[in-house]
Structure 1
């Protein structure tokens, strides 16, 4: 059995480090955005801008479309789950007070949960290491949560964050339903484009036409989310998959929670107690061990399967 972590040593250092930083920064820019504007509206405008950027890049690079109607419909359906639903839930959790580090931990567990769901729903083989790693990761998350959920935004915020993790895993499984492998940029453009309208309508209905409390911060955060997290992150991941393979690229995801914790401390003034720090280490070790194995292919997402942060 080849270790993903060993494979990751062959990844180009600068793009790998940049990807971890970009991916982790999504858990900082997301809360910053919802502090300045309502979550559905923030996401809607993020996806509008990201769709235009992805389509513009695809045209500039003359990427092949190669999507028949069936593939297009499936790409769009999965995009709604991966973007509108999954991010919608997480940004609502941010708005309720869920912390950046905890959100990162939820999503770091998602690849392992995906493998377990594939075993339960599709009959795929899952290794004992993945099961144990997921259990250890959950124990770490529980230590970070502690007995009082108030610091994490309350039970509802934690529940919504957990549902976001589940939706991300289901969306990752849904990528298999697409079957074909359409061009990454065109696929991203379609998925961003179909996610924006329902979020715009939902935002207008539930948040009003101008749900902004800090226009400057909202503008900076939305542009950062669209350009850096949606486009730059996607391109870096595609580069890493090309250079090191999906397994090696996937091995980087367990690094996100500790990097997020440092960024959250610097930018958002989030602090962790000693018990929470221990929980963070336990969760990272569990996820890291679980994502080392190549026993289950679903734990090795392609760039299209991971989406953006």
Structure 2
């Protein structure tokens, strides 16, 4: 069945996707509060790879990947998962807040469109450019002149690099060329991301970098099951039912939802100025993503 490109999204799956996507910015900081970031991600991807492959086998999904396609899927997976999440979880460990992390990633679809214009010669509208500029301005307002509340300049820089690698990885999905099965592709991308992260964890974080076993295990399971698998399936459903452009327009809803969840769960608060910056950023991203019609790879949600 071919995805539609301009339809109305079904309300319940759309709301569930926004909640699942946003919850990743809560589970991530909770996980790195209880264990070291590379260990968290390594075991998350081990579990997600097993779940994805098991579900693909249970549903009898076709592999449809020759050796060249498999290599490209794996390479993009390393960027999308190991590198992008590795950077963001290091930023969490340095003190970057959930709302700011969500803002960075909400800008990524717009940055992807701009990078596609610069690198691939694709057309980009003035509204997309303006939306990105307004979104960045909103982030700068949230950050303010003192970066201490955001974990410091290094945390902000690492979070920004995570946004860039997410956009580059999204462009890399087009380089794959073929259309491999969603579940098998995700399972491969999770599987290739786990070993380098676990090795990096062993070398830099120690054999058992866990301070709270219960919280660490619970957070990793939530990330693997809810964000990596349920989020993946919800986005695939939304792209199928509403089209890739409509699905992309949901990403601007994540920062305000994340801000509420962070206030409820992580006790994060925003000043009046930061709330104004959040609104400015969301308006910019909303304007830009509502004009976007390029496909959104469901693997992109492997997720926060």
Q: Name the TM tier (shorter chain).
A: over 0.9
For structure 1, list consecutive stretches of 5 or more residues without a partner in the other structure: none
Aligned-pair CA distance for 1:233: 0.3
The answer on whether the counterparts of 2:96 and 2:151 sit within 8 Å (CA) in structure 1 is: yes
Task: Give the TM-score normalised by structure 2.
Answer: 0.97
Trace 1:227-242 onto structure 2 (pairs within 5 A): 227-242=225-240
SS of structure 1 residue aligned to 2:243? helix
| Pairing partner for 1:66 from 64, 67, 75 | 64
Report SS of the residue matched to 2:207.
coil
* Contact in 2 for aligned 1:23/1:233 (Cα 8 Å): yes
1:302 aligns with 2:297: yes
Q: 2: distance between equivalents of 1:55 and 1:238?
A: 16
Pairwise CA distance, 1:143: 0.3
Specify which of 191, 201, 204 is matched with residue 203 of structure 1: 201
CA contact (8 A) 1:98 1:153 kept: yes
Within 2, Cα distance between the matches of 1:225 and 1:305? 14
Please give the residue correspondences for 1:157-176 in structure 2 after superposition, counting only pairs within 5 Å. Answer: 157-176=155-174
Is 2:229–2:302's contact at 8 Å kept on the other side of the alignment?
no
Q: Are residue 85 (structure 1) and residue 83 (structure 2) matched?
A: yes
Q: 2:297 & 2:86 partners in 1: Cα distance?
A: 23
Deviation, 1:303, is 1.5
Contact 1:19 1:237 (8 Å CA) reproduced: yes
The answer on whether the counterparts of 1:137 and 1:283 sit within 8 Å (CA) in structure 2 is yes
Question: 1:185-234 CA distances to partner (integer Å, 9 max, x unpaired)?
Answer: 00000000000000000000000000000000000000000000000000
Distance in 1 of aligned mates of 2:300 and 2:45? 17
SS in 1 for 2:280: helix
Shift of 1:292: 1.0
Matched, 1:266 2:261: no
What is the CA–CA distance in structure 2 between the aligned matches of 1:284 and 1:166, rounded to whole Å? 18
What CA distance in whole angstroms lies between the structure 2 residues aligned with 1:41 and 1:167?
20
| Structure 2 residue 48 is matched with structure 1 residue 53 | no
The two structures, once aligned, show a CA RMSD in angstroms of: 1.3
Cross-structure match for 1:95: 93
TM-score (norm 1): 0.95
- Alignment pair present for 1:191 and 2:186: no
Q: Distance in 2 between matches of 1:192 and 1:304?
A: 10
Residue 304 of structure 1: how far off its partner (Å): 3.2
Q: Which runs of 4+ in 1 moved over 6 A?
A: none
Q: Cα distance, 1:308 vs. partner?
A: 2.6
Asked if the contact 1:116–1:126 (Cα under 8 Å) also holds between the matched residues in 2, the reply is yes
Distance in 2, Cα, partners of 1:243 & 1:204:
43
2:25, 2:120 → 1: CA distance?
A: 31
Distance 1:261 1:272 in 2: 8
Kindly tell me the number of residue pairs found equivalent between the two proteins: 301
Task: Kindly report which structure 2 residues correspond to 1:104-123, keeping only aligned pairs within 5 A, or say none.
Answer: 104-123=102-121
Q: Separation in 2 of the partners of 1:40 and 1:143?
A: 30
- Is the Cα–Cα contact under 8 Å of residues 172 and 306 in structure 1 kept in the other structure? no
1:124 corresponding residue in structure 2: 122
Aligned-partner SS, 1:254: helix
Contact 2:94–2:151 (CA under 8 A) maintained in structure 1: yes
Residues 249-285 of structure 1: per-residue CA shift (max 9 Å, x gap): 1111100000000000000000000000000000000
Per-residue CA distance 1:82-131 (angstroms, 9 max, x = gap)? 00000000000000000000000000000000111111111111100000
- Structure 2, unaligned stretches of length 5 or more? none
